[in-house]
């Protein structure tokens, strides 16, 4: 079991460029989500999905798009990168335990926008 796999691990972009952060999980989890982590800010939810074909916005969705065409994949698209999007991005998927959803995180993708 690979768990949650994110690619790339590191990326440098110029302002205005677009890119996609890939996320795949092999645990058959229904729920997937994207967070960004910035110093002093904690993890903030960007977008999430409760199943294939269903996505919704989190706390900081502006500048990002997502889609969920399969259970396994949940890519995050930056349409026009800005320096404010420099961050570490974590994809996570969820299983249920005692009625809650426990997040399993990917290893993270460190993005720098110049």
Partner 1 sequence: GQNIDQPTEMTATEGAIVQINCTYQTSGFNGLFWYQQHAAEAPTFLSYNVLDGLEEKGRFSSFLSRSKGYSYLLLKELQMKDSASYLCAVREGSGGGNKLTFGTGTQLKVEL
3 CB-near residues (< 8 Å, 6+ apart): 25, 26, 27, 104, 106
Residue from 7, 58, 63, 67 binding partner 1 (CB under 8 A):
58
- Are the C-beta atoms of residues 31 and 50 closer than 8 Å to each other? yes
Interface pattern 75-114 for partner 1 (x via CB under 8 A): ---------------x-x-x--xxxxxxxxxxxx------
Contact pick of 19, 27, 43, 52 for partner 1 (by CB under 8 A): 43
Say which DSSP state 99 is in: T
CB 95 to partner 1: min, Å = 10
Nearer to partner 1, 59 or 70 (CB): 59
* Angstrom distance (rounded) from CA 70 to CA 23: 11
Dihedral angle sign, alpha carbons of residues 89, 60, 65, 15: negative
Distance of alpha carbon 10 from alpha carbon 13, whole angstroms: 10
The number of residues making up the chain comes to 114
- Contact call for residue 60 and partner 1 (CB under 8 A): no
Only segment of 15-23, 37-45, 61-69, 74-82 that touches partner 1 (CB under 8 A): 37-45
Q: Which spans of this chain sit near partner 1 (rule: CB under 8 A)? A: 31, 33, 35, 40-45, 48, 50-51, 56, 58-59, 90, 92, 94, 97-108
């Amino acid at each position: 079991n690979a768990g949650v796999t994110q690619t790339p691990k590191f990326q440098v972009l110029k302002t205005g460029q677009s890119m996609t952060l890939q996320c795949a999980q092999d645990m058959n989890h229904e729920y997937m989500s994207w967070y960004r982590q910035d110093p002093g800010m904690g993890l903030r939810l960007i977008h999430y999905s409760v199943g294939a074909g269903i996505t919704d916005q989190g706390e900081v969705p502006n500048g990002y798009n997502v889609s969920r065409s399969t259970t396994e994949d949940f890519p995050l698209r930056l349409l026009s990168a800005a320096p404010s999007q420099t961050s570490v991005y974590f994809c996570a998927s969820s299983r249920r335990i005692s009625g809650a959803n426990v997040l399993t995180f990917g290893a993270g993708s460190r993005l720098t926008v110049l």
